[in-house]
Amino acid sequence: MTPSIASPARRTPRTRSTAALGGLLTLALTLSACGGGGTKETADSSPGATSSVDTLKLANAVAVDTLDPIQASANESIWLDQNIYARLVQTDPTGTKIVPDLADKWEISADQLTYTFHLRPGVKFADGTPVTAQDAKWSIERARAGEDSAWGFLITPVTDITATDDQTLTIKLSTPHAPLLADLAMYAYAVLPQKAVEADKDFFDKTPYGAGPFKVTSLSAQSNLVLTRNDNYWGPKPKIKTVEVSIVTDDNTRLLQLQGGQVDVIENPAGNVLKQIQANPKLRVDLFDSTRVDFVSLPLKTKPLDNVKVRQAIKAALDLGRMNTLAYQGNAKVANTFFPYKMLFWDEAAPEPKQDLAKAKQLLADAGYPDGFTIPLIAVSADAAGQAQAVVIKDDLAKIGITVDIQSFELSTAYDKQRPGTNGMGMRYWTNDIIDPDEVATFGADGGGGANAFNSYWKDEAVTALVNQARSETDTTKRADLYAQIQTAIADQVPFIPLAYAPFRYASGSWVKGFKASPLGNYNDSLLTLTVEGH
């Protein structure tokens, strides 16, 4: 998720090599699941044995919104959740497969209506108390049906969850649900210590913990957070003892801190300084393959965006190639659908939009606006790429008579203004939290799916039916056809315009060895193995 919509921002998707600048995204996401025998490779568990410096210092651009996994919507919070909380299953480092986590094996009944999970023996929360099937049942129920949860819509076919004993959990469904394992690997379905959470209403605001590789030992949501190695973690222990996360919203300040060695890794360096960073032999730029899709929302609650010809005219007027060059210096790819690039069931055959000003003018005239109109465009002030995209939109729409008023705000204010759909167009982006397309399809194409079709308030009952049919379909060929129809419908109806497939951008010191982000954005696997050298 994003600050995806999911992620409801994002929210979401979730490595790849340290790709060189200009490298194309090479995702080939495939959904697979494995059961049993899921022990991670044994790693050195001696604290600090292979890292000469015990602490990684990471500078994020966005504050922590919450560490309650059923409520987090900012990507930066979601990716921290992945380090704190374990789940029954998880996504592997490539962001393409479901692998064991707290459950080391599971069975699926022949009719695909019953899933039985077996917790691996001896797993503990960070405080040393055992993880039980009851904790898992309570946590999944909390995410599925809790009044504060934003994620219950993902596993609506679940009819019953039973903790048969301390180590066995059974989940029953009313109908087959193809993305169930992918859903359970999502941060929102983290297994929490039930008694500790119930005993303290402020649990997530203090020093929350779960059964993941790190625990929170200091939290100031707006300024910094400290993660400390959880020595009760069931898997290989991280080679570093501490991760210090600082919140530095200004792009220039983050870069100066990296150049000065005050921090080791910075998130989202501005696109126009990547060459400058690369020219410094002590620093490195990494562009990781991602599930990020940038888009501009065209909410139907803002007139005249309720007219489909107006929306189609806006789409036809945009030069997405020029936009990519200005926003990402060519390091992104023009988006052809709202599904992330090369994600499972991404429609490769969908045509890439091309600027056609004559067509745009004709559509605008047909809609009754031959002289155009004026409309706001809400953008995030600290997002350099988004600002560049907004400028291209303004320039291109001026060519067909539409005057765009760019209004920039800090992230949370910008998204608050976009959410009602009544304040004009909005710059957003999406990242996947799970490896199955059900999440992005539900958020983007199901008008009742939790995000009002990316806050566009577009709704088509036939497309909603396709989304529901696709999640229940277990034949992959049939699913692919259903998702192709959904992507085509969005392209035709234009409730939002996918703009670019952008990589995740990080810059780090050469003294950091092994920092990687998965295509879903999280970096918990790399924190298990990375090392920091003196500098």
What is the tens place of the pLDDT at every residue in 293-313?
999 999 999 999 999 999 999
Assign residue 111 a region (left: φ > 0; alpha: ψ between -120 and 50; beta: otherwise). alpha
Structure tokens that stand for 366 in this block: 């047909």
Residues in a beta bridge with 505: 287
Q: Which residues contact 45 (CB under 8 A, 6 or more apart)?
A: 236, 237
| pLDDT at 13 exceeding the cut of 90 | no
**What DSSP element (H or E) covers 218?**
strand 214-220
Q: pLDDT digit string (tens) for 227-252?
A: 999 999 999 999 999 999 999 988 88
Alpha-carbon dihedral of residues 79, 49, 515, 512, nearest 10 degrees? 130
Model confidence at 151, pLDDT cuts 50, 70, 90, reads confident
- Which three-class secondary structure state does DSSP give residue 173? strand
pLDDT, tens digit, 9 for 90 and up, residues 479-515: 999 999 999 999 999 999 999 999 999 999 999 999 9
Mean pLDDT confidence for 460-472: 95
Binning pLDDT at 50, 70 and 90, where does residue 1 land?
Answer: low
What's the average model confidence in pLDDT over 39-58? Answer: 62
**Over 90: is that where the pLDDT of 31 sits?**
no
Burial state string for 341-352 with b = 16 or more CB within 10 A and e = fewer than 16 = bbbbbbbeebee
- Between CA 132 and CA 138 the distance in angstroms is 10
pLDDT in tens, 180-220: 999 999 999 999 999 999 999 999 999 999 999 999 999 99
Encoded tokens for 199: 């005993």
**Dihedrals φ, ψ of 265, to 5°?**
-140, 140
pLDDT tens for each residue of 316-329: 999 999 999 999 98
Q: What is the pLDDT of residue 186?
A: 95
Using pLDDT thresholds of 50, 70 and 90, give the confidence band for residue 133.
very high
Q: What is the pLDDT of residues 386-396, one digit of tens each?
A: 999 999 999 99
Residue 110: other Cβ atoms inside 10 A: 6
pLDDT of residue 329: 87
- Find residue 284's DSSP bridge partners: 508
Least trusted range by pLDDT, from 27-31, 170-174, 239-243, 403-407: 27-31
Mean pLDDT, the chain, rounded, equals 89
Average pLDDT over residues 468-486: 96
The 10 Å Cβ neighbour count of residue 279 is 8
Residue 34, pLDDT > 90, answer: no
- Using DSSP's 3-state secondary structure scheme, residue 369 falls into coil
Q: Under 8 Å CB-to-CB from 82, ≥6 apart: which residues?
A: 14, 187, 212, 522, 523, 524
Architecture of domain 86-199: Alpha-Beta Complex (3.90)
H-helix or E-strand spanning residue 496: strand 496-501
Domain ranges of the chain: 86-199, 214-289+504-533, 292-501
Q: State the Cα–Cα distance between residues 181 and 90, nearest whole angstrom.
A: 9
Q: What is the pLDDT of residue 10?
A: 39
pLDDT of residue 154: 83
CATH superfamily to which 292-501 belongs: Dipeptide-binding Protein; Domain 3 (3.10.105.10)
Banded pLDDT at 153 (limits 50, 70, 90): confident
Residue 303: how many other CB atoms lie within 10 Å: 11
pLDDT at 41 over 80: no
CA 50 to chain centre: 31
pLDDT, position 382: 77
**DSSP characters for 103-157?**
EEEEEE-TTS-EEEEEEPTT-B-TTSPBP-HHHHHHHHHHHHH-TT-S-GGGGTT
Non-local (6+) Cβ contacts of 292 within 8 A are 13, 340, 429, 430, 431, 501, 502, 503, 504, 521
CA distances from residue 458 to 174, 308, 420, 429 in whole angstroms, order as listed: 29, 10, 12, 17
- Give the pLDDT confidence of 426-440 residue by residue, as tens digits: 999 999 999 999 999
Lookup: tokens for 57? 């210092």
Residues of the chain with pLDDT > 90, as a percent, come to 79
Using CA atoms of 166, 167, 172, 177 in order, give the dihedral in degrees to the nearest 10: 140
Give the distance between the most distant pair of CA atoms in the chain.
Answer: 71
d(CA 505, CA 292): 11
pLDDT band at 9 (very low <50, low <70, confident <90, very high): very low
Is 87's pLDDT higher than 70? yes
Q: What is the mean pLDDT of residues 97-116?
A: 97
Q: Is the pLDDT of residue 40 over 80?
A: no
CA–CA–CA angle 468, 81, 246 (5° rounding): 135
Domains 214-289+504-533 and 292-501 in one fold: no
Count of CA atoms in the C-beta half-sphere (13 A) of 469: 15
Lowest mean pLDDT among 60-64, 305-309, 372-376, 453-457: 60-64
CATH number, domain 214-289+504-533, options 3.30.365.10, 3.40.50.2300, 3.40.190.10, 1.20.140.10: 3.40.190.10
DSSP structure string for 404-439: EEEEEE-HHHHHHHHTTS-S-EEEEEE--SSSSTHH
**pLDDT for the residue numbered 384:** 84
pLDDT confidence band for 411 (50 / 70 / 90) = confident
Say what the pLDDT of residue 113 is.
97
Task: Encode pLDDT of 338-387 as tens digits.
Answer: 999 999 999 999 999 999 999 999 999 999 999 999 999 999 987 888 99
pLDDT digits 0-9 by tens, 266-289 = 998 988 888 899 999 999 999 999
Residue 448, pLDDT score = 80
* Whether the predicted pLDDT of 135 surpasses 50: yes
